[in-house]
Structure 1
Amino acid sequence: MSTVFEYSATVRFEPAAEEEKAGMSVFLILDQHINLGIVWLRDAAGKLSPHFRFHVEASGRSGLAVPETVVEVVPAAWRGRLIVLCINISDDSSFALSAVLEGVPRSECVLGKASAQIVSGGSGQPTGTLLGVYDE
């Protein structure tokens, strides 16, 4: 039996300092989690701007394909507007993390996918994990 669900959070990102971030996480332990956040980083011109960052930490999980970190500039049209961050699972095997401009469903951008095995604890098929939001 598979569980299918979507977890989402609407974010108003108003950073005050470089590297400030807000996002959501599929979390098992500090060394095994999947994150999607909005981070205040410098762009190619050296100007601070919001970026999406998808990051997977899978320490101690050898033999699993761990996706590379993805960093993308938030589209200019999205800045200053509400952004919905989403975690989707459509089967027992993977999580997809995406962002969408609130009220514009066709703007969805999938920023990364990761195996549910990363947050299974290493004891077989995933049976549960924590989902939540963070602000740093």
Structure 2
Amino acid sequence: MKSLLIPLLAFLTLPNVVFSSHLYNQRELIVTTESTEESIELAKYLNKNGVVKYSAYWCPNCLNQSELFGKQAYNELNVVECARDGINSKTQICIDKKIQGFPTWEINGKLILGVLSLKELSKLTGFKY
């Protein structure tokens, strides 16, 4: 018991260096970077063409992916929240689609797992800057 108590006390007294939304009961991704005109146009194009991003608010890769777009463009994307306790959760859709990890992009009916650059997303979808 004593061997568990010391590391726990040390952990609790150290400052929280790594921000994680689930530690603060946030339940949604908070994107902080600014968008470019190009990222906003790409996001609108993806949405208009039925591209879906399957995500979970607690997923660091999902946050990294969203930060590539920036906050204004992120709001233009069609994002499905898969975490059961996430805000506007659509877990059943994620189960039905057999989403295996996050982020997962659905492009033309094909599921692609992982963080994709904006350039990669442009190529996969035919978006031209």
TM-score by length of 1: 0.26
Looking at secondary structure, tell me which structure has more strand per residue. Answer: 1
Greater relative contact order (CA < 8 Å, ≥ 6 in sequence): 1
TM-score by length of 2: 0.27
Looking at secondary structure, tell me which structure has more helix per residue. Answer: 2
